[in-house]
Amino acid sequence: MKKSYYNLKGNDVLAKAYNCPISMKFSIELAREIRDKPYKKVLKYLDDIIELKRHVPLKRYNQDVAHRKGPAISGVKSGRFPVKVAKYFKKVLLMAKSNADYKGLDSDKKDLIVKGCVISQGMKRYNFQTKGKRRLRRDQTASIEIVLVQQGKFVKKAEKPAEKKTEAKKESVEDKVENKTQKEKVEEHKKTLAREMQRSAKGIDKN
């Protein structure tokens, strides 16, 4: 397993995905756009890319890329719609959010932001072409690493009072069986005491 690029602290959560069959160039461009932005805005941005409403500006890998309508984004007008890359980014982002919920962070607030996003080269796969062609075709992959952080002190998410009541009412089957057996023993003991009292009373009457 590869080590993380970040030193995780109390408020940090990490999610990774290795060897994703996506373009590394588009992944690098998209990772630059989502860094240091709130989680909810990033999620909305990825949904807009999937629905072809917004494009990813290409600042580095923009050779022979057409310009898009509207004002420049991040200082450039060239862009593409990497739908497949956005779907994998959304999957990893939701994994990080579930990790934040499990850790106890309050992910419903606005202070949950994307601390960093790192793209690294994945495994290279060699595939044969169709129709019996001999030359090989190499497919590259990319690995995604997203870190979320909640600003401020580390405070666990407060539990709802209704959930506490329901948890208090729930009892295991073994506890119920033990309670029943204890009650039966108490009732049998009372019956034996009553029988002994009756026998002693009869003996006194005869005398």
Q: At how many degrees (to 10) do helices 39-50 and 24-34 cross?
A: 140
Q: Is residue 104 part of a domain?
A: yes
Check whether residue 61 and residue 112 sit in a common domain: yes
Check whether residue 37 and residue 128 sit in a common domain: yes
Q: Which of 150, 180, 198 marks a domain boundary?
A: 150
Check whether residue 91 and residue 185 sit in a common domain: no
Check whether residue 129 and residue 188 sit in a common domain: no
Do 84 and 26 touch, CB atoms closer than 8 A?
no
Check whether residue 181 and residue 95 sit in a common domain: no
Check whether residue 109 and residue 185 sit in a common domain: no
Q: Is residue 3 part of a domain?
A: no
Give the model's pLDDT for residue 178. 63
Check whether residue 114 and residue 48 sit in a common domain: yes
Angle formed at CA 198 by CA 192 and CA 204, multiple of 5 degrees: 140
CA distance 98 to 193: 60
Check whether residue 131 and residue 188 sit in a common domain: no
CA 51 to chain centre: 23
Give the model's pLDDT for residue 131. 75
Q: Which residues, 6 or more positions from 28, have their beta carbon under 8 angstroms from its beta carbon?
A: 60, 61, 119
Check whether residue 33 and residue 119 sit in a common domain: yes
Give the model's pLDDT for residue 1. 42
Check whether residue 141 and residue 194 sit in a common domain: no
Domain that holds residue 78: 12-150
Q: Over the stretch 77-109, which tens digit does the pLDDT of each residue have?
A: 999 999 999 999 999 999 999 999 888 887 676
The number of distinct structural domains making up the chain is: 2
Give the model's pLDDT for residue 145. 94
Q: Is residue 175 part of a domain?
A: yes
Residues in the chain with pLDDT values less than 50:
1, 165, 207
Q: At how many degrees (to 10) do helices 83-103 and 24-34 cross?
A: 50
Check whether residue 144 and residue 185 sit in a common domain: no
Check whether residue 127 and residue 178 sit in a common domain: no
Strands 125-128 and 136-139: antiparallel
Q: Is residue 6 part of a domain?
A: no
Give the model's pLDDT for residue 188. 80
Q: Is residue 32 part of a domain?
A: yes
Q: Which residues, 6 or more positions from 196, have their beta carbon under 8 angstroms from its beta carbon?
A: none
